[in-house]
Chain A
Amino acid sequence: MKPENKDQIYQQFEAIRRQAEERRDAARRDPSPTILIGTATCGIASGALDTKLAFEQAILEQGLDARVRTVGCIGHCYAEPVVIIDYPQSGFPPIFYHEVTAGKARMLVKHFLEGGDPLFEHVYGAMVENDMIPSVMEFSRFNQEKRVVMEKCGHIDPEDIYDYIAHGGYAALAKALTLDPETIIDEIKTCGLRGRGGAGFPTGRKWELAADSPEGDKIIVCNADEGDPGAYMDRTILESNPHQVLEGMAICALAVGAHKAIVYVRSEYPLAVKIVSGAIAQAKTLGLLGSGILNSAFNLEIEVFQGSGAFVCGEETGLIQSIEGFRGMPRSRPPYPAQEGLYGQPTVINNVKTLASVPPIIANGAAWYRTIGTENSPGTAVFSVVGDVVHAGLVEIPMGVTLRTLIFDICGGIANQKKFKAVQIGGPSGGCLPETFLDTPIDFDSLTTAGAMMGSGGMVVMDEDSCMVDVARYFLDFTQKESCGKCTFCRIGTRHLLDILQRITTGEGRTGDLEQLEQLSEDIKDGSLCGLGKTAPNPVLTSLKYFRDEYEAHINEKRCPGMMCRPLMTYYIDLDKCARGCDACVGCCPTEAVFTTSTRKKGIDQDLCVKCGECMVACPPQYDAVRKVSPPGLAPVIERPVKNPDASKKASDNS
């Protein structure tokens, strides 16, 4: 590349950056308080829009001068709706508030913005070190994370490109434009970045494969078809910082020589679709996408394609079929998409997190990236840790951190003083690991050795009350429904697996079932065409390996140790504990199965009971009279009084 062109690129970018910084500085000079509200999907689901409205109304009513800004998700979903108030004049640092309901919002406006009292009892922590309020960095949920992909999530306004640029955004693209494509690919290869979509294929190799393919209309696809039920990292990243992904795509396109790119987002994520589309338009206006990017000769058009809801389209070849307008049925590889993909052109398909890792790598260099994580899995991993943990949400950790640290230190351990039982990693393709594996470091190879899989990053933590057979059945039910139906092993094999698991969880398991499960699983693993089928038996195989006793209890004793399988358990009321005259459980029963015994205590009509467990929740803790047992035969029989109490009462009244 000619040096004068290099200068032009830098000049052009500097101009944009100066603009962005001026806007930021102008905002900083403004002494009025700023209120940042996290309004990604999960925030909205927790009522963030009501919170926002309450702030705006209260500010208006009090006649204050304050700005309410929306940002993406900071990842602390347990604390939603999350609000950060930056009020320099108050003398306090920016403060992080959690679970800010509309009422709390009004209180904050009144006391903090008007009165200068930050309401210490509601403060979660300060965003920076100071000597007044403990900083959030003192919490392990914050300080043990290492944010590369999600660094800016929750701090910038996803709908304002200048905010991203003022935080250092698009500098990596400007730098990349002055480099040779080979240098970029070398950098990605040396940094050791591996695909974050699940399989962990070296990203640099994939790019090189596409770059080496003969000329053609090469295409970059950002795979945001996040189908794993229980994972939402990709959505959050797109909703909170779309530009980092777009920047990564542009760098990738530059490296492999593509001029067209597609963001493949599930249509179930309407907010992500809207934000990404807006981000593309903004980047085009500033000349960061489109033709002649930053005065260079590089052109790139990015489009958004909405996936229509088929898990199998997360598979590269299935995804290609669906963009082309066909049924998303995978085909056999090779040829790999990087050689022959969309419309027969070399196509690089990378996950959202992979692409979002690219700008920091280009900006800071491969050596810096290698300082994070492990030798074979450099960098960070983003997990959505959900289930029975205290601090559920998105966590970005350096690779190599153990499961124990992640679950017990960072995420606060198991909720409700229960015991840890298992952690499911990798969704329908992954597996359940028991307590003995808690010291496994989180990286591609260790997890695969343990029998789980990195997958896309869904992690569901389960306490002692969960049933591993039921979890395996759940995942098989999912893969069976999501199988495309093309190949014999996946289409029919998963159906047989599911059938057996269904029998076991309803108490109709037979001897020999476990051996058959293993046999079928091995066949499906070896015989299936695509990754979906090949990994579909993993939940069964790992749970059989680590929780075989639970399967045996289901089959031999018709007992569900986790008391989750409803045909194998029942609720009853302990008459010694039940309080006379208390009606708490009666009102909540959806089927009127709770009746009053002759001693004015309560019993459950097993014929009517649907085992929803509401009575157990409703029973006041001081009585704690509702019990679960498995197998159902262990429950004492409490007969419903034959006489209709109303009728007898009437009769006595009459006499």
Chain B
Amino acid sequence: MKKNLISNSIIFLLILFAITPILFALLGSFKELKDIINPIPKIIFSPTLENYITVLTTDSILRGIQNSTIIVGTSLLIGILVGIPAAYAIARYKPRGSNDLRFFYLSIRFMPPVAIAIPFIGIFLDLGLYDTKTAIIITYLPVTISSIIWLSIPAFESVPKDIEEAAGIEGCGYFGIFTKIALPVASPSLIGAVIFTFVITWNELLIALSLSSRNVTLPVVAASFTSLGFETPWGVINASAILLAIPPLLFVGIIINFIKKYISND
């Protein structure tokens, strides 16, 4: 009994360590500024929706949501169209040099983003694409394509080969086996891979910040609030930090299942 109590309290402390900061900001997002600026944080206060109303009626935030959706959506879509067939071909047919190919996809992740962003500024200025959504979409492609490939290969490797071979005997072509057999069987894990990539792209700040001065994504808008004026609007900042974090947090269950499957497959 006593042992149970100790283990439960250790676990409870661990949970507190993980989510207290998030809950504190969540609480702060419902406080008026006068309740926030208080050396001993107030637990009891009269909650207000004012911060969220301010955030959701600010032009830059609304444009940020719209831009983020378009930019992340498009680069993800291209990543899926290009990356998933590549992952399939590598997993299923292991063509010559496929190990080097895997390393090539991985090494894209080694590139420091600032080292891509800086020369791209010059290139996009020359091409007249600076400060457009297209510029950011293009710059996100290495991230989306390489991570979708890298994460999808194990998904296709776990598709039993005999199902595919049986379909081949029944006269399905290579393309048919891919779309009609492999894709549906692997799709639960593929969704995990896509969502993982979504989170990485949605959260990105540096490239969007560098390649735009007005066409900004949501992280850029949220980061810019702290440098506004003298009296920092902490209620609004908390609300925008929470708002920005909602889309990735929605997928936390899918991600954990994906990770679990990924690890037990090895």
Chain B binds chain A:
no
Chain A interfacial positions (CB closer than 8 Å to B)? none
Chain B interfacial positions (CB closer than 8 Å to A)? none
